[in-house]
Chain A
């Protein structure tokens, strides 16, 4: 087997067009990886700069009214992971910056894509595009022409008389192309790791290993199926045409059809419907129960009772702060209800897309690539939830200061000292360890594993039972 692999490689390296194609591809990937990491580093530096700027403004705003500070707000920045240089995932369209303020839960904004003049179908040139689209096409062509060459030039008979089985010959061809593809992948990842500025953690190494496993499995699936068709059609062009057609279906048609079907099955409300429903529940009460005026009356009664006074003006605290916090907490409930429902639908959509991987292994690869890189929808939602959790603590601290910091009801001109604001810590998001989120990706791994087993089994079965000479 090793001899077949080495001979195949020798053939590529000694054949001018292949040699240049391989050199060109490796150089392009190396360049894309290097510049991808540099780009991530620059963007991360900009994020760090912006975070610092926001913090500086916060720490230098001077004595201010806490409620004013809540409107001034803060920002949550989603950090870029090391592997986002490999696969940007949903970051491009979903954004990485979330404005945090009182009364309202904002959406993540400032996606690279939305600001780009050069919006294209595939987005910016990332290593993942080359690894997911270009390398498989190369695998298809190299595997097909490797097998076709043996048939067309009548070498199969000569090789089999030497005692090697047709299975060994075909499998050797598939593996030689696969090893090449995996080497290209490894070169890309090694460049990424070496040029990545931050220290390499165990989690990053685990994620990198899983990237190799996912892409390596997918490449073997592609190679095995191409090998299968090539042996079924004895290297005739129909094998190549069929494989390319399957590739186009996997790459373009199935993802479109699947996402359309999933959206039909589990529709998401439009942005307008979502915000209208939130506003409705907030003013009229969740599901029409407990409207805002009734809530306010109940709060007022309970506070007056606690302090043993008859009017809010007699309270030793600032009642406005309590009202705002109560409204905030009710708003949180409303958000939890609506966002929870939205999250549920998104979860169903994502899971359905993952199960579609049993029809389309490319879908499983994409899902794993983004998931392992920490740039998929799960990661995006996790960041959003963490940022919201921080916003609640942040706003509560400001409302509590407004209520209990020393001011009285109606005293909107009252100001808290700068020291108070300095005590409030910034939002620091840490991408969860892969081991904590690995359960999300089992459907993708199972689908890829089943495809791999099935394609290898089919290749072994048909090549062992095929008579290449009689075809």
Chain B
């Protein structure tokens, strides 16, 4: 579903990605680990079609995102680190608005159901987003992705700033979505959360994939040691 093959991305003189190759299959959760500036967000922007690769091949559901941005937008959902919703709208109104823009025709009742399913308590559905916590906004973001029935979910630091309970809930929701067949790529530097959520983990350093492993093959402590070792070198 997601395929990057020998992808390079250069910004003038700086190289953001070098020969990055990875593959994420349907129903899989892939986590990209890396320090700030490692190329995680660049990878997501390439997959969203906002950037054109300098070299190599980027494919999402068989399409090149940069040249098929409109078609890609029908298949992909994106959840940023900070889900910026309209503060003057309620969670439900935000969901309704984003669904409208995406051309998704959902009844109010089904939107309410989606919000609840994504973990937003019903008493908050009608409350203005300006009164929401970050975790609650994140849940609305997931609900937007869910309502879209996106085949691919791209998440950029989704658990950053969330409390442990909200973070845990997020893991549950992502696993549920993957269980329903979604392809998920998340960029993070939260080793513990990545270990808990992902099926496969890739470690990015200076734009190159330096390690790729199955999450169940490594403990949280080992992953931390491995990661720190790569960062040190």
Contact = CB atoms under 8 A, between A and B. Distances in A.
Given A470-B50, A470-B51, A162 B98 contact: yes
Interface in A132-155: 153-155
Contact of A15 (B48, B88, B97, B148): B88
B102 A163 contact: yes
B101 interface: yes
Given A3-B101, A469-B45, A162 B73 contact: yes
Contacts of B77: 161
Nearest to A164: B101
Interface string B85-106: 1101100000001101111000
Interface in B26-49: 45, 48
A11 B73 CA distance: 26
B22 interface: no
B101 A162 contact: yes
A14 interface: yes
A161 to B, nearest CB: 4
A430 B84 CA distance: 60
Contact of A160 (B73, B82, B144): B73
B78 interface: yes
A3 B94 CA distance: 12
A467 interface: yes
B48 to A, nearest CB: 6
B60 interface: no
Interface in A1-50: 3-4, 7, 10-11, 14-15
Contacts of A165: 70
B113 interface: no
Contacts of B144: 158, 162
B212 interface: no
Interface residues of B, number: 29
Contacts of A160: 48, 50, 69, 73
B158 to A, nearest CB: 13
B74 interface: yes
A7 B86 contact: yes
Interface in B90-126: 97-98, 100-103
Given A158-B78, A161-B76, A3 B45 contact: no
B101 A469 contact: no
A157 interface: yes
A457 B102 CA distance: 26
Interface string B138-171: 0001001000100000000000000000000000
B80 interface: yes
Interface string A239-275: 0000000000000000000000000000000000000
A157 B73 contact: no
B1 interface: no
B88 A161 contact: no
A443 B218 CA distance: 77
A163 B78 contact: no
A151 B100 CA distance: 20
B86 A162 contact: no
B84 A155 contact: yes
Most buried by A among B98, B128, B148: B98
B139 to A, nearest CB: 15
Nearest to A14: B88
Nearest to A15: B88
A159 interface: yes
A465 to B, nearest CB: 13
A3 B48 contact: no
Most buried by A among B51, B88, B101: B101
Contact of A154 (B48, B84, B98): B84
B220 interface: no
A469 B73 CA distance: 15
Given A3-B101, A14-B88, A163-B74, A158 B83 contact: yes
Contacts of A158: 78, 80, 83-84, 98, 141, 144
Interface in A266-324: none
Given A154-B84, A157-B80, A158-B84, A3 B51 contact: no
A157 B80 CA distance: 9
A55 to B, nearest CB: 63
B89 A10 contact: yes
Interface string A439-471: 000000000000000000000000000010110
Contacts of B74: 163
Nearest to A13: B88
B101 A154 contact: no
B231 to A, nearest CB: 27
Nearest to B73: A163
A378 B86 CA distance: 51
A159 B101 contact: yes
Contacts of B148: 162
A161 B141 CA distance: 12
Nearest to A154: B84
Closest 8 CB pairs of A and B: A469-B50, A163-B73, A14-B88, A153-B84, A162-B102, A161-B78, A162-B101, A155-B84
28 contacts: A3-B100, A3-B101, A4-B101, A7-B86, A10-B88, A10-B89, A11-B86, A14-B128, A15-B88, A155-B85, A155-B86, A157-B78, A158-B78, A158-B80, A158-B83, A158-B141, A159-B98, A159-B101, A160-B48, A160-B69, A160-B73, A161-B73, A161-B77, A162-B148, A467-B50, A469-B45, A469-B50, A470-B51
Interface of A: 3-4, 7, 10-11, 14-15, 153-155, 157-165, 467, 469-470
Given A11-B86, A470-B51, 13 more contacts: A3-B100, A7-B86, A7-B97, A155-B85, A157-B48, A158-B80, A158-B141, A161-B76, A161-B77, A161-B78, A162-B98, A165-B70, A469-B45
